[in-house]
Amino acid sequence: MAEKEISNYNEDSIKSLDWKEHIRLRPGMYIGKLGDGSSADDGIYVLVKEVIDNCIDEYTMGYGKYVDVTIKDKIITVRDYGRGIPLGKVVDVVSKINTGAKYDSKAFQKSVGLNGVGTKAVNALSNYFKVTAYREGKEKTAEFERGILSKEHKETATKEDNGTYVEFVPDDTIFKNYHFVQEYLDNQFWNYCYLNAGLVMNLNGKRYISKNGLLDLLQRKTNEDEIRYPIIHLKGDDIEVAITHESAYGEEYYSFVNGQFTTQGGTHLAAFREAFIKTIRDFYKKDYDASDIRGSICSAISVRVQEPVFESQTKTKLGSANVSEGGPSMRNFIGDFLSKELNNYLHKNTTTAEALKKRIEQNERERKELSGIRKLANERAKKANLHNKKLRDCKYHYNDEATGKDKDKIVEKAKESTIFITEGDSASGSITKARNVDTQAVFSLRGKPLNCFSLTKKVVYENEEFNLLQHALNIEDGYETLRYNNIVFATDADVDGMHIRLLLMTFFLQFFPDLVKNGHVYILETPLFRVRDKKETIYCYDEKEKQAAIKKLTGKPEITRFKGLGEISPDEFARFIGDQMKLQPVMMLPETHIQQLLEYYMGKNTPSRQDFIIDNLKVEVDLVTEILE
């Protein structure tokens, strides 16, 4: 170490932070990425989840059937009807780290949060935080600002039912320009109800309840016309699974631990996938290829684990090897359950067993037909020198196995990994110069992609652009090996750009629908106009914003219409793909029928589609006229 560095490193270099300062300095350690709400795993949804998790734990323990939530004007309120926080500990449980009832395993045997961090993180990351406990005719309230106690109320009498009320406003200096996407909230609330049959949740007056658990979940996630056989629904002590196969490509899993949606899977999902293959091979007495058995599967699994070990505070991946201390391994527990229950089900339901066999054998035929083509396509991809010509890669990848002392940093960065799919060299050049090389990659398309509607997966290997794109994403064998958490379409905001966007969406929905269903696909919103005078520059995303900017600026401002991404300089682009990046998530509603959707928009030019275009064109013209007037 250089002499200068040694002299600068002394006692003053060592700092001790209190709990709230550490949370505010390193929020990613507690709630994952911050984001603006465009992604389902952005921090604002984690804040909501951390508060509701406590309500769910109360319900799991047998207290409080209802949870009422409101989200309005960025103020979130959560009211449960459980036992209520003991009044003498109201301040401590939301402001003292490692404080809570969940260290007592008798009180919370199979809880989600065991580290006493959740509500403290919400408190520290909120401009305003209020908690009120109602317990046995008395209530106690405490108010905080950015984790600092601002007012502690005395205990008073109350007629309110037992339970807890929490109100908070996320800190806008940390969560900048955030918004809540209703579809993400819907999924979050439905998942709570699927995993806790009988629980009643209300969000802004909308009611959520499930009677049949994971069966209801799969019915919501699949379309009756696309599944190959009725959903198999199996339940046991501390385990529940639902299984079916669809017509679409890919594998789709929803895994849960103690009511927590483990988006990254973990030991329970790995055990399930392994056990499902073994059970199917044993039942049919045939050594089917694993990819043929799991191809087109849509499944959900939920387990209850005593004192679960997660790989991060956000609890998205289970690391526990055993179901409980001294109990069976996760692998044996799930393996034994499926071996018995799924085997019995298939013996009793011969029609379902035959339909499942046909789906597996169809996958087998398609795989064998593609084997020769895949080999040639892989060789072509290598010769194309993909990583130098088509792909400008980034340093951190979504599914890289991080090791060493910087593991936490790598994992955190990998969650931010993004690939921009652009059209042409000029646009890709601007983004490449402006991007964050740690987390942002760029893939350049050459011309318009093929309309692949109604085509088989054979076209993915025969078409050079599609073949190179799937290699860049590393999704040839499914989305589990996806290299980037966010796939972003970055096309021009003109007719050609919109067409390319549609063709890309057709490609993903046709061959990799699980990427869309699991929230990995986005559209980059870039400004249409730049309005500026000598003092200020305003970027506008639509005509209405442009008119507002013209009125705001003095004199006669200069107005620039960006016709393409290539016209935006790298310096300007840095603003639109950095912290303030606007992403529009590509989402599928539960009732969406993929093939019908693609047939309507990308199939033959039907009169109904012509009428749709004409009607919407009229609406757009009327809107512009109204703005200009």
Domain chopping of the chain, boundaries? 20-208, 214-367, 384-526+564-592, 530-561
pLDDT at 464: 87
Question: Per-residue pLDDT tens for 366-405?
Answer: 899 888 888 888 887 777 666 657 889 998 888 766 666 6
What is the CB-side half-sphere exposure of residue 423 using CA atoms within 13 A? 23
Residue 100: pLDDT band (50, 70, 90) is: low
Residue 103 above 50 pLDDT? no
Residue 233 above 90 pLDDT? yes
CA distances to 109, 190, 257, 295, 418 from 514, in Å: 34, 19, 21, 12, 17
Question: Per-residue pLDDT tens for 180-205?
Answer: 999 999 999 999 999 998 999 999 99
Mean pLDDT on 241-258: 90
Q: E strands along 147-283, which residues?
A: 148-152, 156-157, 163-170, 200-203, 206-208, 232-236, 239-245, 252-257, 260-261
Mean pLDDT on 550-565: 86
Read off the tokens for 413. Answer: 């960065």
pLDDT at 414: 79
| Of 349 and 457, more confident | 349
- Highest mean pLDDT: which of 15-19, 66-70, 478-482? 66-70
* Percent of residues, the chain, with pLDDT higher than 90: 42
Inter-residue contact 458 to 369 (CB < 8 Å)? yes
Residue that has been written with the tokens 């107005």 in this structure: 559
Mean pLDDT on 334-346: 96
pLDDT at 276: 97
Sequence-distant (6+) residues with CB within 8 A of 385 are none
pLDDT at 430: 85
Q: In terms of CATH architecture, what is 384-526+564-592?
A: 3-Layer(aba) Sandwich (3.40)
Mean pLDDT on 598-625: 68
Residue 110: pLDDT band (50, 70, 90) is: low
* Per-chain mean pLDDT for the chain: 85
Residue 262: pLDDT band (50, 70, 90) is: confident
Residue 73: pLDDT band (50, 70, 90) is: confident
pLDDT at 115: 39
pLDDT at 20: 77
pLDDT at 160: 94
Sequence-distant (6+) residues with CB within 8 A of 9 are none
- Highest mean pLDDT: which of 148-157, 468-477, 490-499, 544-553? 148-157
CA distances to 234, 242, 347, 575 from 301, in Å: 10, 7, 21, 41
Mean pLDDT on 37-59: 89
Mean pLDDT on 111-140: 83
Residue 498: pLDDT band (50, 70, 90) is: confident
pLDDT at 260: 82
Residue 593 above 80 pLDDT? no
Does domain 214-367 fall under CATH 3.30.230.10? My reply is yes
Residue 44: pLDDT band (50, 70, 90) is: very high
Residue 571 above 60 pLDDT? yes
Residue-wise DSSP of 295-342: TTEEEEEEE--SS--BSSTT--SB--SBSSTTS-BHHHHHHHHHHHHH
Query: Which of 120-124, 131-135, 304-308 comes out lowest in average pLDDT?
Result: 304-308
| Of 271 and 96, more confident | 271
Q: What's the topology of domain 20-208?
A: Heat Shock Protein 90 (3.30.565)
Residue 151 above 70 pLDDT? yes
Read off the tokens for 185. Answer: 């909230």
pLDDT at 236: 92
Mean pLDDT on 255-279: 90
Sequence-distant (6+) residues with CB within 8 A of 301 are 214, 239, 240, 241, 253, 254, 255, 256, 268, 269, 272, 334
Question: Per-residue pLDDT tens for 1-40?
Answer: 455 555 565 556 555 567 677 788 777 777 878 888 888 8
pLDDT at 15: 58
Residue 98 above 60 pLDDT? no
pLDDT at 441: 93
* Percent of residues, the chain, with pLDDT higher than 70: 87
Handedness of CA 107, 109, 114, 120 (dihedral sign): negative
